[in-house]
Chain A
Amino acid sequence: MLRTVLDNPVNLIILGIVAMLALAMGIVFFVVLYQRRMLRHQMELKLLNEQKQKELLQASIQSEEEERMRIASELHDDVGATLSSIRLFLHSASKGKDPQLIDQSRALLDESIQKVRSISHKLQPSTLHRLGLKVSLEALADMVTKTGMLHMSCKMGKLPELDETTALALYRIVQELLNNIIKHSNATDIHLESTRDGNVFCIALSHNGQGLTDESFSELIYKKGAIGLKNIVNRIEVINAVIRFRKVSDNLFETVISVPVNN
């Protein structure tokens, strides 16, 4: 039966026509399905991006609120209490004319000045403004080493001219990365180094503890919390920089921040 059908050229031509039409319909069907799939994929990506932006914004607001709370508590608990004591001492001193009380008040005043200076320094590192990023990062490394918990070495070459925003952002990112290393990595040695490759300035921070990779960093920033990491992303975006996390060996993790600079 089939042979008889196929022996007739007219039947073959009709079969061919049907096949061609089916193929054309198939192509149209495929295009429509593929386009729908792509559209759905794009929508998902858009939603994910929006969610990420929202989380970053929330992290930024939360971080600002936390900073305000920290400053408020330091002012209230430390400076406020010391100033109240001074007030009491001065009140007593004005009645009894006790020179010892005046000396104590003076000491407390010095302490208050020191505390205000410390708060101010945390808000805006004075070394960064006066002496630049290189000295500030060296001072930071020095401060970490002085804690005695771990050793931090610093090898900073000649830094390019950076605007204040970039310098502050880089300083804060390094500060946050160091904070994370101290808190989570169990590292004993940290090394900070700067290099320059054409129009790109790089700061590399390596340590011998347990660190992050690009994959784990991407996972963490999408999770709730991780405000410090989200702030890093925010700052990186502001200065058009790139941050990469990689595992060099079992006991060596490296984070590299690359920022474009002008010649």
Chain B
Amino acid sequence: MLSPLIPLLTGYRNRRSLLWLYCFVGFVFEWFISLARRGLHINYFLPSNIYLLTEFVLVCFLFRSRLIMNRYAFWTLLFGLSALFIVHTVAKGPQEFNTSGAALFSLSYIVLSIAGLAQILQSKEVLFLDKYWFFWLCIAFLIYASGNILLFLFRLVMIKADFQLYRILWFYLYCPLNIAKNLFFAIALSRYAANGIRQPG
């Protein structure tokens, strides 16, 4: 829960960047969901679903800032997946966590990250990977989404089979991956330069 604070503090100087905004939104939602779950004891799946959608929109714009993408392809991806998610969430009931939607978004993050990494390899401007913020952003999403996609997709199957094991997995897989993602974001924000290819979002 505290891990989003790392990129927020590390990248405070770049608080006007989209990446910092993304981290901030993540931090606010995580606190709110936690409060709803433990303090207020209300259904926390609705804010979780809203967070998934907001996260997806922000991620799309984050990748768009660096990834050379056809304008129509970008808007189709953004509106198409968002609409699919909304329809599916409404159909399923907004009070339920949309695991399929989360898995679908994870898949799109994996695809975007691989496309980003491929573009970095093709680019002649990027000489040192570790100094390029976008490289760390791609790594963050690739590892985070690869680790969680099956966890989201088979959530119900796992809960049905062994709820305790699912909780353990959530604690030992989702949480470390979330921390790793935030650490990578912190590195990305620390690689910020005012001009040129290193500018985040």
The interface of chain A, by Cβ under 8 A from chain B, is 8-10, 13-14, 16-17, 20-21, 23-25, 27-28, 31-32, 34-35, 38-39
Contact = CB atoms under 8 A, between A and B. Distances in A.
B129 A31 contact: yes
Nearest to A8: B161
Interface stretch (B18-26, B51-59, B63-71, B151-159): B151-159
B199 interface: no
Chain B residues touching A, range:
20 to 34
A interface secondary structure, majority:
helix
Interface in B137-160: 139, 142-143, 146-147, 149-151, 154, 157-158
B184 to A, nearest CB: 11
B158 A13 contact: yes
Contact of B150 (A16, A24, A38): A16
A38 B121 contact: yes
A258 B67 CA distance: 41
A23 B146 contact: yes
Contacts, number: 56
A7 to B, nearest CB: 12
Contact of A10 (B128, B135, B158, B173): B158
B200 to A, nearest CB: 19
B144 to A, nearest CB: 9
29 contacts: A9-B157, A10-B158, A10-B161, A10-B162, A10-B165, A13-B150, A13-B151, A13-B157, A13-B158, A14-B169, A16-B150, A20-B147, A21-B146, A21-B147, A23-B146, A24-B143, A24-B146, A24-B147, A25-B143, A27-B114, A27-B117, A31-B117, A31-B121, A31-B129, A34-B121, A35-B121, A35-B129, A38-B121, A39-B128
Cβ-closest 6 pairs across A and B: A24-B146, A20-B146, A13-B154, A16-B150, A17-B150, A10-B161
Contacts of A35: 120-121, 126, 129
